[in-house]
Amino acid sequence: MLPVHHLLYLGALLFTTGLMITIIKRNAIMVLLGLELMLNAANLNLIAFNQQTPGSPDGQMFALFVIVVAVSEVAVGLAIVLRVYRYFQTAVPDEIRELKD
């Protein structure tokens, strides 16, 4: 059995890194990468706690659902980024200042 606390520390590091990527980077695709990293940090915590209840797959089921939601999020997010890029010729959210035609 892996040490739970070290998995939790790794999850905290990944979550914090994802948050900093989301704040720092100006490109929308890099922001999506940061969001993926944060979701994976949450998944790592779920798996770490699932280890503590042997014989019960509850934590793994939650992790699977989180993965599916992450896939949906990145698919729709990238579609929106592509559409915004085709319309405004930029993928930097700060440079988009108007909402309608």
Q: Can residue 35 be called a binding residue for another protein (CB under 8 A)?
A: no
State the greatest distance between any 2 C-alpha atoms of the chain, in Å, as a whole number.
58
Q: Can residue 42 be called a binding residue for another protein (CB under 8 A)?
A: no
Binding positions for another protein, 67-86, rule CB under 8 A: 67-76, 78-83, 85-86
Q: Can residue 96 be called a binding residue for another protein (CB under 8 A)?
A: no
Helix axes 28-50, 4-24, angle to 10 degrees: 170
Binding positions for another protein, 5-24, rule CB under 8 A: 5-10, 12-21, 23-24
CA-based R_g, the chain, Å: 17
